[in-house]
Amino acid sequence: MKMITCCSFKGGSGKTTALMGLCSAFAANGKTVALFEADDNRPLTTWMENAVESGTWDERCSVFIADELSLLEEAYARAEAGGFDYALADTHGGSSELNNTIIASSEFLLVPTMLTPLDIDEALSTYRYIVELLVAEKLHAHTAVLRQRVPVGRTTASQHAAAELLNALPQFNVPMYERDAFAAMKKRGMLHLTHSSMKSKPGLRLMARNYETALSEIAELCAFVTKALES
């Protein structure tokens, strides 16, 4: 089982959105996914409950509460025994022993950020924290920054300048654009199953096209992560 973590010590960076998108992409590829919920606001549990109610939850995926160190250890043991292909972990805000354990146990660390000066500062701070922890523990993990909620059209001068600050860091070259498909995942459920449901309803075919584009973008992120883990 390979563990991938979306890590940000700032709320609203889009880490849970990135994690939900990745989960959908892995499930669409037939992979089983254990979701470790370390955020005590329980966004993944809410996502699963909404998806189950809408019929858009993939049974290849399971949520494990992991907002305490003992619960994380138990969740990891259960997921590994269950033969899951991937574990996706959602950190909580700030630094803590729990977050340190998640980071140290991960094989890929994704740092999402929006393109504002405050968000970029927090992303750089998070990235620096990750690197220092890995060096101190003599560990290696793939790392990358993910630009979140980027406008589909032109970015503003401020957003462009903020993005340039990330150029020194490894990052995924395709951002998660500001799409309704991503913004509505928490309520509508998994991307691939929501898309399948929409395609069968004539009145939703135009919206389904938006989902198809979002799916192709998140599939690229999934392929990027998978390739890194195989190297």
Per-domain boundaries in the chain? 2-230
Could you write out the DSSP letters of every residue in 59-91?
Answer: TTEEEEE-SSHHHHHHHHHHHHHTT-SEEEEEP
Upper half-sphere CA count for residue 29 (Cβ side, 13 Å) = 18
Q: What are phi and psi of 173, to 5 degrees?
A: -75, -15
| Percent of the chain whose pLDDT exceeds 90 | 61
Fold that domain 2-230 belongs to in CATH: Rossmann fold (3.40.50)
* Residue 14 or residue 23, greater confidence: 23
Check whether 169 has a pLDDT greater than 90: no
11, containing H or E segment: none
Measure the CA–CA gap between 145 and 98, rounded to whole angstroms.
Answer: 21
pTM for the whole thing? 0.90
In this prediction, residues 56-79 reach a mean pLDDT of: 95
Lowest mean pLDDT among 8-22, 147-161, 188-202: 147-161
pLDDT at 105: 95
In this prediction, residues 124-135 reach a mean pLDDT of: 92
